[in-house]
Structure formats: C-alpha cells, structure tokens
Amino acid sequence: MCGIVGAVRRSEPVLSALIEGLRVLEYRGYDSAGVAVHTGEEVLLCKKQGRLANLEAALAASSFAAGSAGIGHTRWATHGPPSDANAHPHLAGGGQLAMVHNGIIENHQDLRVQLLEKGVEFASQTDSEVLAHLFAVEFAAADGDARAALRAALAQVDGYYAVAFLLSTESGPAIICARQGPPLVVAQGPGGTYLGSDLLALLPHSSDVVFLEDGDIGVLTADGFELFDADGNPVERAPKEIDWDPTEANKGPWPHHMLKEIHEQPDVLARTVFDRMDEQAGDVVLPGLEDEALRSVQRVQVVACGTALHAGWVTRYAIEELARVPVDVEFASEFRYRNPVLVEDTLALALTQSGETADTLAATRLCRELGARVLAICNVQGASQVREADHVIMTHAGPEIGVASTKAFTAQVAAGILLAIRLGRANGALSAERAREVLHGLRSLRFQMEQLLTREKCEHMRSVARNHAAAKGFLFIGRGINFPIALEGALKLKEISYVHAEGYAAGEMKHGPIALIDPGMTIVSVNAPSPLADKMRSNVEQVQARGGVVFSVGSDQATHDLARDVCSVPPTLEILSPLLNVIPLQLFSYYIADQRGCDIDKPRNLAKSVTVE
C-alpha cells in the first residue's frame, strides 16, 4: 500500500519521470499524491489530496519544471486522514530534505513527543513525518554522513518501512532509501538511476532491477546506486531481469483495467498451464517439484489472504481429490498469530499475486520456523515471497492493475490444479489416465473461457446485472469445489459495488442465513455437474419458495430452470468448473459496479497489495 518513486537523472528534468511512475503506481493508493524535486539549490514540494490528477493540475499551475532529482508518493492513509498536509513527501531539516514512506511506524507517538521536546514542529498527523524529522536531527549531528544518520534514525524506530529521502550531498542531489518490510526496487537506466516500491515503475527505464533486502540501505546518484546491508557493509544484490512488457500495464482501449484483465484470462490460463503439461506422460512439469521433493509430503498448509485464499480453497479440493493429501486452509492473518501445530513433512503453500502481502509473508515465515518447506504460487517476478520460498510456481498473469483481482485468481487456481496433479503423480495417488483426463479438460478451457467472454455473453451479463443492481443484498451459494467460488463472487461484488454480499456453503443455509431471504435478496447459485447437483437444486428451490430471486451460474440445466436469470457455462470436469464459473461472477460484479457508478479500478478504502497489517 502506497506507491513510492524516485529518480536522480544526469541532466533531464525529473518531474515527468516521477509523474509517469506515480501514474503506474496509483493503484497502490489513491488518497493523495505528491512530489518533491531538488533543483540543486532547494527542495520544491507539491502535494494534493485526492487522485494524481489533482496533483498534476496543481503542478501545471506552478513553475515546477526544473530539477533532475526527486521523489514522489501516492498514499493509502494509515495515520491521519487524506489531506494535503498528510500527503507525502514530508519536509524536514528546515526544508532541506524531503521524505516519502510506505509502512507503519508503531512507536510514532513516543518519537513525536521526544522530537517536540527538541523543538521540532510537525506539519501533519502522520506517523511518517516522525521519521523525516528523526533523520533530519541525526543528519545534522552526523556531519553530513547520510548513511550513518539513517542507520541512527532507523535504530529508534519500531515498525515497517520502505523509505526514501531526497537530500543534498557533496556530489549533488541524491536519494537515500531503506527497506524493512515493504518492498523497494532500484534500477540504472540510460539517463539516470531510478527507485520504486513496485517494479512496474522501473520497467520503462530498465528491465534489470535490483530488489533491496530487509535491512538494506541504498544510495542513488545520477551515476548509479550503492547498497549496504544491515551492518553497513557494501553489498551486491543480483539484478533480476523482468520479462514483462511495460505496456502490458496500460489499459489500452478498455474502459477499466478490471474488464481488460477479465478478458485476458483465456491467454493467462494458456501461459500458466500449457507449457507445463505433459499429456503423454499424464503429468505436469514443475521444475524443483520432482517426485523426490513431493513424495514425502504428509499435509499441505495453505496460507493466503482475500481472493488468493479463495484460490487456496479451490486448491484444497483439488489436492485432496487428486493427490489424497490432507490440506488445511487458513487466513494468513489468523495463522500467523496462533500457536499452530504443523505435522512433520508439511508443505506450506502460499498463494499471492503480489508476493508482498505482509500477513502471507509472516505466516510462511512461521511455517518455516515450524519446520515446513514453503511453496509459493506467485505472480510478481522477484517478489519477497518468491525470494524466500523453497519452491515456486510462477503464474503468468502479467501485471494486474485492477484492485479487484481477476486474472491472478484464475492463474492461481490453475497453478493449484497443476500442483495437485504433480503431487498425486509423485505420491502415486493419481493414475496417468485420470491425470490425462484433467489435462485434456484444462487444454479445452481456453476456448471455453473465450466462449464466456464473447460480446454477446458480456451483453447478456450486463442485462442480468441490470436486473439485480438494486437488490438490497446478495447471497452466493455453492457446494464442494464451487463453495470457494461463491465466496469469491461475493467478495468481488462487495469490494467494487459496496453492496452487502455473502458467500455461503449452500448446505449451511438452513442453519441461519435462510432467514435473510425475501424478495429483495438475490441468490446467486454456483453449480456444476456433480453428485451434489441435486442437493444444490433443492437449496435453490428452498430459497425460491421464500421469495428469493435466483441467478443461476454453471452448467446444471435443472437448476437453471428454477432461476430468473441464468448464465450457462460450457460443461467441463467438476474439478475444473471453478475456472469457468468465476468468469460470469466477475462480469456480474463489474456490470453492477458500473451501473452503480462506482470507481471500479480504484474502489474506496482499498489499494492493491496489502504490504502492512
């Protein structure tokens, strides 16, 4: 949460690079945005509450063009409401330096009191500003030794940070930065040196990026960057070549990133799955996950958050079905603070699009402490989760910019199914013949997904959404491997439409939620041809008998016959049905949000990638 950019250029003005970087990172926070530029003589500051467009308007009205070093920030508020004053950068040291921060300074109140006693004046209510002044005090005391000052300042801080300071050094304007928790990436481009909290901000300048490790300090000048480890020793971190095309993060002709990303799913599935399938052998190829690595796995512990957790739930059904290995699934935020018991030979499975979700990282670190090996299913190359895991299955969804996750979810589910096949083949629970049947089904899914995304289907979903846009509440129900799809459908709807929606296991309805049913409620039934189809149908009849309005998604015609609205999905194996059923639910949420006039790519109170608790 929050986006950070920085650049020190040789001669070109820096402002356009900062604004372009912030535009790419706006999905990380959009309460306010700001930039600070060093002209060589002074630090200029401009920051505005609201979207980046407000900052751009303010800059257009100023004479802010000069200066080849600068930092910028787009904020997701933690301490202090969104306002111009609380926006970053924060100035300190009599306006001689500026700072941007992502994270939380937990002891900010104590530090604020100490700084006030020293006569420091605060301009904001943020925890971050404390760090700016702490550094300024130490910088003044360290006789211009910025690294010593930063180490001294950070030693007083409890919390998590990616932080960057813009300041003057003997050799000219520079940036000094540090990381403990949230990510920071640096790169050397043709015209200078660049910094970002997200590699997407760097890709226009270089495809070779360097991730700071926790505890690292980086110093950026126009000629390059130097990194120092937690003990202050110079350190080399291997550059990572990123093969994403920076234009993939553009919306192109689509009205929203979310709609573009929904439509990318057939290709994402193909990229994530097809090259890994060995239909002849009835197996999949996952480097590092050969028989030796998997044969001994006794239990799988899934930890993830939000949509990624729902993909973890689907993976649970797939692994138990195909590999007969027991799987536990838990919110990473709960798991990390329990005193969990892991049996010997547990494989911890972290699913995460960003690879930077704080709770997921902490939960997997705990798993490792408890003796488990960690396997990450992750989308972002070089992310912390990837670097820390013992094994990795990368999803090939490309950059996901819409805050509501769509293509990353289907990629996670597809990768989870590949893992289930590999595990089942490694431990002997899965025959080559059954594996071939699933692989064959996967091969057909790309075309089947495309059938759900035709213009005609989308128009149909738009009109279904219109029928339900005024409902007072929504219950999504499913059974078996489609129960997590009910959870996911409800999450998508509430996060972008701000209407109340719950996902429920259909068999639980009579234990309470059926009391909610009346003609104002829409019930979204997610079904699949399965031994549970009859039971699903009778659950739908029961809600219908109580006046609930039913929208039926899936391939069970008998359930469709009961519904007011229907989205038929092509028939596939039950185990693969979540990958199709979720698509109409994503479109349903999208069109309801559109009809309600919501800001689909930037839903209120949210931001992409929860890098703080």
Q: What is the DSSP letter of 452?
A: T
Q: Does 493 bind ligand F6R (CB under 6 A)?
A: no
Active site residue 305: no
Nearest to 36 by CA among 150, 218, 175, 146: 175
CA separation, residue 12 to residues 216, 223, 363 (Å): 28, 13, 44
Among 265, 307, 530, 589, binds ligand F6R (CB under 6 A): 307
* Residue number with CB closer to ligand F6R (412 or 552): 412
Among 146, 154, 259, 404, binds ligand F6R (CB under 6 A): 404
End-to-end Cα, the chain, rounded Å: 10
Q: Three-state DSSP class for 580?
A: helix
Nearest to 241 by CA among 134, 381, 357: 381
Using an 8 Å Cβ cutoff, are 525 and 551 in contact?
yes
CB of 305 to ligand F6R, least distance (A): 4
Nearest-angstrom CA–CA distance, 137 and 566 = 65
CB of 417 to ligand F6R, least distance (A): 17
Active-site residue (options: 2, 46, 305, 598) = 2
Among 68, 126, 180, 352, binds ligand F6R (CB under 6 A): 352
Q: Does 586 bind ligand F6R (CB under 6 A)?
A: no
Among 193, 525, 609, 611, binds ligand F6R (CB under 6 A): 609
Phi, psi of 227 (to 5 degrees): -120, 145
Binding mask of the shown chain, residues 514 to 543, with x at each position contacting ligand F6R by CB under 6 A = ------------------------------
Polymer length in residues for the chain? 613
Active site residue 494: no
* Residue number with CB closer to ligand F6R (101 or 492): 492
Using an 8 Å Cβ cutoff, are 410 and 267 in contact?
no
Nearest-angstrom CA–CA distance, 277 and 279 = 6
Per the listing, tokens 């931001």 go with 607
CB of 539 to ligand F6R, least distance (A): 26
How many other CB atoms are there within 10 angstroms of residue 37's CB atom? Answer: 28
Q: Does 183 bind ligand F6R (CB under 6 A)?
A: no
CA separation, residue 199 to residues 195, 392, 409 (Å): 9, 19, 21
Under rule CB under 6 A, how many of the chain's residues touch ligand F6R?
A: 15
Kindly identify the residues of this chain, within the stretch 356-375, that bind ligand F6R according to CB under 6 A: 357, 360
CB of 599 to ligand F6R, least distance (A): 14
Segment near ligand F6R (CB under 6 A), from 230-238, 304-312, 334-342, 389-397?
A: 304-312
Q: Three-state DSSP class for 290?
A: coil
Binding mask of the shown chain, residues 312 to 351, with x at each position contacting ligand F6R by CB under 6 A = ----------------------------------------
Chain residues that interact with ligand F6R, rule: CB under 6 A: 305-308, 352-354, 357, 360, 404-405, 491, 495, 609-610
Active site residues: 2, 608
